[in-house]
Structure 1
Amino acid sequence: MENASELSSSLSFASSSYLSNGSSYHNVFTSSGVEAGTNVTNLELLSLSKLSGSLEKLLVDAQYDYSDVEIVVEGNTVGVHRCILAARSPFFHELFKKGNDSFVKEGKLRYLMSDLVPYGRVGYEAFMVFLNYLYTGTLKPSPSEVSKCVDDICTHDACRPAINYAVELMYASATFQMKELVMLVQRRLLDFVEKALVEDVIPILVTAFHCQLNQLLSHCIRRVEQSDLDSISLEKELPHKVFSDIKSLRHKSRQEIEPCIVEGDPLNDKRIRRIHKALDSDDVELVKLLLVESEITLDDAYALHYAAAYCDPKVVKEVLSLGMADLNLKNPRGYTVLHVAARRKEPSVVVWLLNKGACVSETTLDGQSAVTISRRLTRPKDYNEKTEQGQESNKDRLCIDVLEREMRRNPMAGNMSIPSIVAAEDLYMRLLFFENRVAFARVFFPAEARLAMEIADADSTLEFAGLSASKGSWGNLREVDLNEMPSEQTKRFLSRLEALQKTVLTGRRFFPHCSEVLDKFLADDMPGMPELFLEEGTSEEQRIKKMRYTELKEDVQKAFDKDKAEHKWAGFSPSSSSSSSPKGVVNCKVRKR
């Protein structure tokens, strides 16, 4: 937004109240001279400044919590005061007159932000800035943690987080009917329209449509209409009326430039749309039939680009498995499928593409790589979010992490292929090792481990459970289901082993430091301490187990510290940073040799 001093002077109780009282100022000035007029001005400004500061205490100081209404924003409960909101906002005046008897907690009315603003999103930080303006009359600077991206070389004058924050502030200002704030934020959004990537103009356009901001809407429509954004994307992302207007304007412009211009092949367009609709329906088999029936290829339809942008991640995987699409094909805007996936910020799609050979160093027409795209879409708040054990890792951060590692990685040494014939005992030992390896990864790095297992299709294989039933008894390992042929059992074990090995390989590729810690632990500790995490043994043995578990957590922390130092990360904690007990890995499969 604009600089703080300009905003404070243009939007404050002091300036607006005094200027609206022009007659009073004139009387004082003419009757008592310049000095008297100046003194009164200073006194009123000082008084209004103190009033503004006093009212701000109601928001920021817990000692002055006399709120009688709660508004829930992004899981945060914000206490507000009906008298202030009703006096400042016509929207809240009408809302509080109606009441909310169906949702009362501890004597306070409670509202959900998603119900108050049904057509848009208002985040916690934007709402707190809006509230501060309601209470104090001054507009705070944009919070950097949600209005900037994490790309070090970005000027942040039109990156996506800056746009999203302004959009959230506009939804709050327009919905809650603060006209002067709407005018100010609209000026900022108009500035964005000329500077931003055309893809990032779309959320501004949608906001202008829902908030009925005609001037902003016309500017956005003109920018999009003159751009090279394809009609398929516009139809997916814009309200129908807006899309129809842009389509009509484009048709008119083409006719004015060249009256005899020939439109694209309607039959081909129809075939491409049918392929996209099949992808929307998650029906890859239908896609295959449509490809056979027509002369259209996956690349002609940019089907993989479309799936990466709009379809379920599993559809992307299925289309990739067809082996019929060029992974590094660029669409008319110069985007590869990996660029599209980076904009979507879905880690599984990114990893599947990389695993199939997508080139991470490819750049768009304006020189952006997939890493740059991902960083310029990510807020510091999300990038630096701490993750405790067992919690989901942030998708924004995980995408950046995976892409950066791929940019820096060295070719993997060694061959993890499975020999065609594996002796039974060797097979059991390999299964045992990799089950343990993946189990520990799932405890300490749950989201990363699950992602690696998805890539390896490990969930489609049966877990090797022989040891958990035998509690270390080697004899039970060779027990077989009488209804299962030995050859079928061996085939099943081999399938599981292949999936586990691929899981570990994926982990080593994309999460090398974490993998190094786990590899070292299994190599050093498992042979000598076979029942480290089983809840058995003497008190002294239990003490040793807990001590080693603590050491392992410290090793994990060091691995993440190494990553942070290498990549200049901040505020990110490994999953193992919590003070949980080791019981989450009690059932790991271990045995004496």
Structure 2
Amino acid sequence: MSELVPYGKVGHESFLVFLHYLYTGTLKASPPEVTTCVDETCVHDACRPAIDYALELMYASATFQMKELVLLLQRRLLNFVEKAVVEDVIPVLMAAFHCQLSQLRLQCTQRVARSDLDTTSLEKEFPQEVVDEIKSLRAQSVLESTPAEMEVETLNEKSIRRIHKAMDSDDVELLKLLLSESKVTLNDAYALHYACAYSDSKVIQEVLNLGLADINLRNPRGYSVLHVAARRKDPSILVALLKKGANASDTTPDGQTALVICQRLTRRKDYHEETVQGKESNKDRLCVDVLEREMRRNFKCVTMSDSSETTADDLHMKLDYFENRVAFARLLFPAEARVAIENAEVDSASLDTTSSTLKRAGANREVDLNETPAVRTKKMQLRLQSLQKTVENGRRFFPHCSEVLDNFLEDLIPDVFFLEKGSEEEQRIKKARFMELKDDVQKAFHMDMAENKRHSGLSSSLSSSSSSSRKEGVGHRVRKK
């Protein structure tokens, strides 16, 4: 289908519904698992899953030239245009553009022109032809500025565009140079907002590390950096912002928190997708879980003692513990572990704790005889700090899975790691215990799910109380096993 529909996508469920229409002439009811979001307060009349499903049917119908179905779907999409947030109108306008739907395109263009979507976003999202149409509509309703004002505005715009281009090219050094040569700051350029929308996650981390931008700054539309990142749906970016102090409770002008934004972008099918041990977790669900947990976080971060005050034996013991702990985390929770490592501000390659590392755990370490004891100890301390930061992130954002690993390692260190040592009977017992760990891990996932159910009332009441546009009442959700 990707070869037949180069400008959009057609999912499995929507294609089956299209085939049913093709052979029977009747349109089946929309599957709720792909047309409703996971926000319990949403009425699902214009949330993103409903729009995306209609767009998938539209692309299939236009590709196979099913004119009757195209007209039916165009009417459905026209109903979404005024109800949906402007960001969700963008894919509708792109479908109208590619499928040559003049009526839908005109209404979408007018809707975007009336919105507060900035020029930078327009140019990033639309072809130049569409951008020109929107600007033309806006010019008809806005008085032109005086020449003096235009000159100042143009100078600022040039500086801002250079800053954005530097981030587009992943050139943080050029970004620093531009900031030093211009009066325009990162906040003036809303650089973090731009980076969270369009830049690579490494660039976002580097811009955050500069410490020159307000993490909770709102752009002219009233959106915080976290609100913009929520639409990106990248758990690594969300965790990086939360670590730097982003406020998960901030709401948009229409009363949506970052959590609600993520929920309204996430299909029920994706959220309730069964988690397979050792496989990637669904990113949409991971984003919702991280933000839900941050909204109700009521625990204190575990503080680690200063490793510089420990003896050499203590240092080796701690390294063994944390290395093995991170190794099991990467083996059993690859997506969660990667998020924790990336946001510990360390190179994931330096924490390459694969299954082969588990087999070597506890073995004699290679020693460089040219290194002084002080240098060797310093290296160990730095590695220990990296591992500790990773574990802290895991405990903060994925506590139940961390608890399983904590209990397991405390009970069975160090013998459990030598899975291939000893007699055949000893190896069998150790491997059987390892399989028990996997069962414990699965239970941890379900504990997180159960806790989400218990606390969903809190997150839903927080979001519903801040938005008069959403219906009252909170439901509970349970993930399918």
TM-score of the superposed pair, with normalisation by structure 1: 0.73
The answer to whether the Cα contact below 8 Å between 2:320 and 2:361 also exists between their aligned partners in 1 is no
Alignment of 1:383-532 (within 5 A): 383-456=271-344, 457-459=346-348, 461=350, 476-477=364-365, 479-526=366-413, 530-531=415-416
Using the TM superposition, name which of 365-374 and 240-249 deviates more.
Answer: 240-249
Alignment of 1:568-587 (within 5 A): 568=453, 570-571=478-479
Quote the residue 1:348 is aligned against.
236
Quote the residue 2:124 is aligned against.
236
Change (3 A) 1:468 1:481: farther
The answer to whether the Cα contact below 8 Å between 1:275 and 1:303 also exists between their aligned partners in 2 is yes
Q: Secondary structure at the match of 2:179?
A: helix
Change (3 A) 1:467 1:221: closer
Structure 1: which 4+ aligned runs deviate by more than 6 Å? 258-261, 462-471
AA at the equivalent of 2:28: K
Aligned counterparts of 2:6 and 2:360: Cα–Cα separation in 1: 56
Quote the residue 1:316 is aligned against.
204
Q: Which of these residues, 207, 211, 214, is aligned with residue 102 of structure 2? A: 214
Aligned counterparts of 1:243 and 1:298: Cα–Cα separation in 2: 25
Give 1:335 deviation, angstroms. Answer: 0.8
Aligned counterparts of 2:378 and 2:316: Cα–Cα separation in 1: 13
Aligned counterparts of 2:290 and 2:328: Cα–Cα separation in 1: 20
Change (3 A) 1:261 1:372: farther
Give 1:333 deviation, angstroms. Answer: 1.1
AA at the equivalent of 2:29: P
Deviations along 1:526-563, whole A, 9 cap, x unmatched?
A: 25xx1455223234323422332233223222222222
Q: Where does the alignment leave 5 or more consecutive residues of structure 2 unmatched?
A: 454-476
Deviations along 1:67-87, whole A, 9 cap, x unmatched?
A: xxxxxxxxxxxxxxxxxxxxx
Q: CA RMSD in A?
A: 2.3
Quote the residue 1:167 is aligned against.
55
Change (3 A) 1:198 1:247: same
Aligned counterparts of 1:413 and 1:261: Cα–Cα separation in 2: 53
Q: Secondary structure at the match of 1:420?
A: helix
AA at the equivalent of 2:287: C
Aligned counterparts of 2:352 and 2:103: Cα–Cα separation in 1: 60
The answer to whether the Cα contact below 8 Å between 2:401 and 2:441 also exists between their aligned partners in 1 is yes
Change (3 A) 1:468 1:545: closer
Quote the residue 1:250 is aligned against.
138
Give 1:114 deviation, angstroms. Answer: 1.0
The answer to whether the Cα contact below 8 Å between 1:360 and 1:403 also exists between their aligned partners in 2 is yes
Q: Secondary structure at the match of 2:240?
A: helix
Quote the residue 1:556 is aligned against.
441
Using the TM superposition, name which of 546-555 and 279-288 deviates more.
Answer: 546-555
Aligned counterparts of 1:369 and 1:197: Cα–Cα separation in 2: 14
Aligned counterparts of 1:387 and 1:468: Cα–Cα separation in 2: 24
Aligned counterparts of 1:471 and 1:426: Cα–Cα separation in 2: 16
Give 1:434 deviation, angstroms. Answer: 0.4
Change (3 A) 1:467 1:320: closer
Quote the residue 2:76 is aligned against.
188
Change (3 A) 1:539 1:174: same
Aligned counterparts of 2:378 and 2:353: Cα–Cα separation in 1: 13
Q: Where does the alignment leave 5 or more consecutive residues of structure 1 unmatched?
A: 1-112, 574-593
Quote the residue 1:28 is aligned against.
none
Quote the residue 1:298 is aligned against.
186
Deviations along 1:483-525, whole A, 9 cap, x unmatched?
A: 4343332222111100000111000000011111110111112
Larger Rg: 1
The answer to whether the Cα contact below 8 Å between 1:254 and 1:261 also exists between their aligned partners in 2 is no
Give 1:169 deviation, angstroms. Answer: 0.8
The answer to whether the Cα contact below 8 Å between 1:431 and 1:464 also exists between their aligned partners in 2 is no
The answer to whether the Cα contact below 8 Å between 2:74 and 2:104 also exists between their aligned partners in 1 is yes
Quote the residue 1:39 is aligned against.
none
Aligned counterparts of 2:361 and 2:98: Cα–Cα separation in 1: 63
AA at the equivalent of 2:378: K
Aligned counterparts of 1:471 and 1:312: Cα–Cα separation in 2: 35
Identity %: 65
Give 1:171 deviation, angstroms. Answer: 0.9
AA at the equivalent of 1:546: K
Aligned counterparts of 1:231 and 1:396: Cα–Cα separation in 2: 28
Quote the residue 1:67 is aligned against.
none
Quote the residue 2:458 is aligned against.
none
Change (3 A) 1:516 1:464: closer
Aligned counterparts of 2:351 and 2:52: Cα–Cα separation in 1: 44
Deviations along 1:202-244, whole A, 9 cap, x unmatched?
A: 1110100111100111101111011100010010001110011
Deviations along 1:386-438, whole A, 9 cap, x unmatched?
A: 23223211110110111111112223254214243432111111100101111
Aligned counterparts of 1:172 and 1:358: Cα–Cα separation in 2: 41
Change (3 A) 1:467 1:299: closer
Quote the residue 1:282 is aligned against.
170
The answer to whether the Cα contact below 8 Å between 2:361 and 2:417 also exists between their aligned partners in 1 is no
Alignment of 1:38-117 (within 5 A): 113-117=1-5
Aligned counterparts of 2:377 and 2:423: Cα–Cα separation in 1: 38
AA at the equivalent of 1:501: Q
Q: Secondary structure at the match of 2:143?
A: helix
Using the TM superposition, name which of 513-522 and 383-392 deviates more.
Answer: 383-392
The answer to whether the Cα contact below 8 Å between 1:190 and 1:216 also exists between their aligned partners in 2 is yes
Aligned counterparts of 1:546 and 1:419: Cα–Cα separation in 2: 33
User: Per chain length, whose mean CA-contact separation is higher, i.e. which structure has more relative contact order (CA < 8 Å, sep 6+)?
Assistant: 2
Aligned counterparts of 2:89 and 2:250: Cα–Cα separation in 1: 24
Aligned length: 455
Change (3 A) 1:485 1:470: farther
Aligned counterparts of 1:464 and 1:470: Cα–Cα separation in 2: 10
Change (3 A) 1:463 1:428: farther
